Structure 1
Amino acid sequence: MRALGRDRSMCAWDDFAQASIDARLSLEQARSGQIPPFLLLSVPGLSAGEHRVCSELWTRDRVAASRAERARLDFRFDLTIRDKLRVGYLSNDFHDHATAHLLIETLEANDRARCELHAFSFGADDRGLMRGRLNDAFDGFHDVTALSDSAAASAVHAAQIDILVDLKGYTRGARTGILMLRPAPVQVNFLGYPGTLGGGICDYIITDTFMTPPAAAADYSESFAYMPHSYQPHGRAALGPPPSRAEAGLPDSAFVFCCFNQAYKLTPAVFDLWCRLLDAIPDSVLWLLASDQAEGNLRGEALRRGVAPGRLVFAPEMTQSEHLRRLQLADLVLDTAPYGAHTTASDALWAGVPVVSCAGDTFASRVAGSLLHAVGLPELIAADEADYLAVALTLAAEPDLLRAAKAKLQRNRLVAPLFDAPAYARSLQDLYDQMWLRCRSGAAAGPIWASRS
Structure 2
Amino acid sequence: MNSTIERLQKKLQLSPQDPELHYELGRCYLALRQADAAEQAFKQALHWAQGHPQILMQLGNVASMKGNETVAAEYFRQSLKQDAQQADVHFNLANSLRKLGEHASAIQHYLASLRLSPQDAECHNNLGNAYREQGQLDLAVAAYAQAIKLDPQLMHAKVHWIHQKQHMADWQGLEVAIAEIREAVRSHAQARIPPFAFLAMPGTTDKEQLDCASLWAQQHYGHIQPLPTPASKASPERIKLAYISSDFRRHPLAYLVTDVIAAHDRHQFEVTLYTNAEDDQSPERQAFVAAADQWVDITHMTDTEVATHMRDAGIDVLIDLTGYTQRSRCGVTAYRPARKHINWLGYPGSMGFLHGRPLFDAIVIDETLKSATLAEQPVLLPCYQPNNARRPEADAGTRAQHGLPEQGFVFCCLNQSFKITPDIFASWMHILEQVPGSVLWLLQSNVWATRNLQQQAQVAGIEAKRLIFAPRMPIEQHIARQQHADLMLDTSPYNAHTTASDALWQGIPIITVAGETFPARVSASLLHRVGLPECICADWKALEQRAIDLARDSAALAELKTKLKNQAQVLFEPEIFCRQLEQSLVQLLS
TM-score by length of 2: 0.70
Matches of 1:314 and 1:77, distance apart in 2? 56
Q: Answer whether contact 1:278 1:307 (CA < 8 A) is retained.
A: yes
Deviations 1:224-273 (A, max 9, x none): 0000x211001232555531011222121121111111111110000000
- What's the CA shift for 1:350? 0.8
Matches of 1:74 and 1:385, distance apart in 2? 50
Matches within 5 A, 1:301-340: 301-340=456-495
Q: What's the counterpart of residue 214 of structure 2? A: 56
Using the TM superposition, name which of 428-437 and 42-51 deviates more.
42-51
Other structure's SS at 1:83 match: coil
Q: What's the counterpart of residue 442 of structure 1? A: none
- What's the CA shift for 1:79? 2.1
Matches of 2:545 and 2:266, distance apart in 1? 48
- What's the CA shift for 1:18? 1.1
| Of 516, 528, 543, the match for 1:361 | 516
Matches within 5 A, 1:213-232: 213=371, 216=372, 219-227=373-381, 229-232=382-385
Q: What's the counterpart of residue 150 of structure 2? A: none
| Of 402, 412, 436, the match for 2:589 | 436
Q: What's the counterpart of residue 541 of structure 2? A: 386
Asked which structure has the greater RCO (Cα within 8 Å, sep 6+), the reply is 1
Matches of 2:502 and 2:228, distance apart in 1? 43
1:156 counterpart = 2:310: yes
| Of 548, 552, 572, the match for 1:419 | 572
In structure 2, what residue type is equivalent to 1:25?
E
Q: Answer whether contact 2:307 2:332 (CA < 8 A) is retained.
A: yes
Structure 1 residue runs without a partner (length 5+): 438-453
Matches within 5 A, 1:134-283: 134-199=288-353, 200-213=358-371, 216=372, 219-227=373-381, 229-237=382-390, 239-283=393-437
Change in CA separation of 1:77 and 1:396 when aligned onto 2, cut-off 3 Å: farther
Q: What's the counterpart of residue 8 of structure 1? A: 166
In structure 1, what residue type is equivalent to 2:475?
Q
Other structure's SS at 2:425 match: helix
Matches of 1:397 and 1:66, distance apart in 2? 59
Q: Answer whether contact 1:167 1:191 (CA < 8 A) is retained.
A: yes
1:108 counterpart = 2:262: yes
Deviations 1:356-399 (A, max 9, x none): 01111111000000000101111000111111111111111211
Other structure's SS at 2:243 match: strand
1:25 counterpart = 2:183: yes
| Of 184, 201, 206, the match for 1:43 | 201
Deviations 1:113-139 (A, max 9, x none): 111111001110111111111111111
In structure 2, what residue type is equivalent to 1:32?
Q
- What's the CA shift for 1:19? 2.6
In structure 1, what residue type is equivalent to 2:400?
A
Matches of 1:434 and 1:422, distance apart in 2? 19
Q: Answer whether contact 1:33 1:59 (CA < 8 A) is retained.
A: no
Matches of 1:208 and 1:155, distance apart in 2? 32
Other structure's SS at 1:13 match: coil
Other structure's SS at 1:97 match: coil
Matches of 1:137 and 1:120, distance apart in 2? 12
1:291 counterpart = 2:424: no
In structure 2, what residue type is equivalent to 1:177?
G
Change in CA separation of 1:290 and 1:362 when aligned onto 2, cut-off 3 Å: same
Structure 2 residue runs without a partner (length 5+): 1-157
In structure 1, what residue type is equivalent to 2:302?
S
Other structure's SS at 2:277 match: coil
Matches of 1:222 and 1:30, distance apart in 2? 24
More helix by share: 2
Matches of 2:335 and 2:482, distance apart in 1? 42
Q: Answer whether contact 2:185 2:191 (CA < 8 A) is retained.
A: no
Matches of 1:22 and 1:195, distance apart in 2? 22
Q: What's the counterpart of residue 451 of structure 1? A: none
Using the TM superposition, name which of 287-296 and 142-151 deviates more.
287-296
Matches of 2:511 and 2:161, distance apart in 1? 27
Other structure's SS at 2:511 match: strand
- What's the CA shift for 1:75? 5.9
Q: What's the counterpart of residue 499 of structure 2? A: 344
Matches of 1:127 and 1:159, distance apart in 2? 27
Matches of 2:404 and 2:389, distance apart in 1? 26
Matches of 1:235 and 1:123, distance apart in 2? 20
Matches of 2:525 and 2:224, distance apart in 1? 36
- Which structure has the larger Rg over C-alpha atoms? 2
Matches of 2:291 and 2:232, distance apart in 1? 25
Q: What's the counterpart of residue 404 of structure 1? A: 559
Matches of 1:436 and 1:407, distance apart in 2? 42
In structure 2, what residue type is equivalent to 1:254?
G
Q: Answer whether contact 1:75 1:157 (CA < 8 A) is retained.
A: no
Other structure's SS at 1:5 match: helix
Matches of 1:86 and 1:394, distance apart in 2? 52
Matches of 1:19 and 1:411, distance apart in 2? 46
In structure 2, what residue type is equivalent to 1:339?
Y
Q: Answer whether contact 2:186 2:208 (CA < 8 A) is retained.
A: no
- What's the CA shift for 1:153? 1.2
Other structure's SS at 2:520 match: helix
Other structure's SS at 1:413 match: helix
Other structure's SS at 1:435 match: helix
Matches of 1:361 and 1:407, distance apart in 2? 30
Q: What's the counterpart of residue 450 of structure 1? A: none
Q: Answer whether contact 1:33 1:61 (CA < 8 A) is retained.
A: no
Q: Answer whether contact 2:316 2:338 (CA < 8 A) is retained.
A: yes
Matches of 2:538 and 2:204, distance apart in 1? 17
Matches of 1:85 and 1:389, distance apart in 2? 49
